[in-house]
Structure 1
Amino acid sequence: MRTPAARGSLRARAARLFAEQTVRPLAAALPVNTATLPVARLVIDAAMRIVGPSLPGTVVHRRDHDGVRGEFVTGPKAMRTDAVILYVHGGGFVAGSVAAYRGVASRLSTATRTPVFVVDYRLAPEHPSPCAQLDVARAYRWLLGRGYAPDRIVVAGDSAGGFLAADLVVTTAGRRGPAPAGLVLFSPMADLGLRIAHTGDRNRDGVISYALSLKAVAHFTSEQLELRPEHGTNLPPTLIQTGGAEYFAADAIELAARLRRAGAACELQVWADQMHVFQVMPALAPEARFAFGAAGRFVTSLLDTEAATAV
Structure 2
Amino acid sequence: MTPSARGSLRTRAARLVAERTVRPLAAAIPVNTTTLSMARLAIDAAMRVVGPSLIGTVVDRVDDGTVHGEFVTGPKATRADAVILYVHGGGFVAGSVAAYRGVASRLSTTTRTSVFVVDYRLAPEHPSPCAQLDVARAYRWLLRRGYSPDRIVVAGDSAGGFLAADLAFANARMRIPGPGGLVLFSPMADLGLRIAHTGNRNRDGVISYTLSAKAVAHFTSEHLELRPEHGTELPPTLIQTGSAEYFAADAVELAQRLRQAGAVCELQVWPDQMHVFQVMPALAPEARFAFGAAGRFITSLLDTEAATAV
TM-score normalised to structure 2 length: 0.99
TM-fit CA distance, 1:203: 2.4
Work out whether residues 202 and 209 of structure 1, in 8 Å CA contact, stay in contact via their aligned partners in 2.
no
Q: CA deviation at 1:200?
A: 2.2
Specify the alignment match of 2:184 in structure 1: 185
* Corresponding residue SS for 2:239: strand
Could you tell me how far 1:280 is from its partner in structure 2? Answer: 0.1
Residues 1:144 and 2:149 are matched in the alignment? no
What is the rounded CA distance, in whole Å, between the counterparts of 1:3 and 1:128 in structure 2?
38
Alignment-derived partner of residue 198 in structure 2: 199
Superposed displacement of residue 142, structure 1: 0.3
The amino acid across from 2:192 in the alignment is: G
**What does 1:1-311 correspond to in 2, within 5 Å?**
4-311=3-310
Give the alignment's TM-score, normalised by structure 1: 0.99
What is the Cα deviation at residue 22 of structure 1?
0.3
Query: 1:150 deviation in Å?
Result: 0.3
Alpha-carbon distance in structure 2 between the residues aligned to 1:287 and 1:8: 8
Deviations 1:129-177 (A, max 9, x none): 0000000000000000000000000000000000000000001100000
Is residue 55–residue 75 contact of structure 2 (8 Å, CA) maintained in 1? yes
4+ aligned runs moved over 4 Å, structure 1: none
Alignment partners' CA distance in 1, 2:210 and 2:38: 19
Asked if 2 retains the 8 angstrom alpha-carbon contact of 1:93 and 1:217, the reply is yes
Instruction: Structure 1: state its 5+ residue gaps.
Output: none
Provide Cα deviations, 1:99-133, integer angstroms capped at 9, x if missing partner: 00000000000011100000000000000000000
Tell me the distance in 2 between the aligned counterparts of 1:252 and 1:295.
15
Q: Name the SS of the counterpart of 2:161 in structure 1.
A: helix
SS of residue paired to 1:36: helix
Residues of 1 paired with 2:258 and 2:173: CA distance?
13
- Deviation (angstroms), 1:76: 1.1
Q: What SS is found at the alignment partner of 1:118?
A: strand
- Does the 8 A contact of 1:3 with 1:270 survive in 2? no
Kindly provide the CA deviation profile for residues 183-226 of structure 1, in whole angstroms up to 9, marking residues without a partner as x.
00000000000000012224200000000000000000000000
Residues 192 and 226 in structure 1, CA contact (< 8 A), matched pair in contact too: yes
CA-based RMSD = 0.9
Residues of 1 paired with 2:287 and 2:293: CA distance? 10
Aligned length: 310
Q: Determine the C-alpha separation between the residues in 2 that align with 1:208 and 1:227.
A: 20
Structure 2: tracts of 5 or more residues without a match: none
CA distance in 2, matches of 1:212, 1:202: 16
Q: Alpha-carbon deviations, 1:214-271, whole Å to 9, x = none?
A: 0000000000000000001010100000000000000000000000000000000000
Letter in 2 for 1:235: L
Checking the alignment, whether the CA contact within 8 Å between 1:196 and 1:250 is kept in structure 2 is: yes
Identity %: 85
Secondary structure at the residue paired with 1:275? Answer: coil
- Give the partner amino acid of 2:194: R
1:4 Cα offset (Å): 1.5
> In the TM superposition, what is the alpha-carbon distance from 1:3 to its structure 2 partner?
6.8
C-alpha distance in structure 1 between counterparts of 2:172 and 2:194, whole Å: 25
- Whichever residue aligns with residue 281 of structure 1, its letter is M
Alpha-carbon distance, 1:61 to partner:
0.1
- Code of the residue aligned with 2:148 in structure 1: it is A
- Code of the residue aligned with 1:265 in structure 2: it is V
Task: Give the match's secondary structure for 1:155.
Answer: strand
Q: Secondary structure at the match of 1:217?
A: helix
Q: Is the 8 A contact 1:202 1:248 kept in 2?
A: no
Q: Take 2:200 and 2:297, find their aligned partners in 1: how far apart are those partners?
A: 28
Contact persistence 2:2–2:293 (CA under 8 A): no
One-letter identity of the residue aligned with 1:167: D
The answer on whether the counterparts of 1:154 and 1:299 sit within 8 Å (CA) in structure 2 is yes
Specify the SS of the correspondent of 1:239: strand
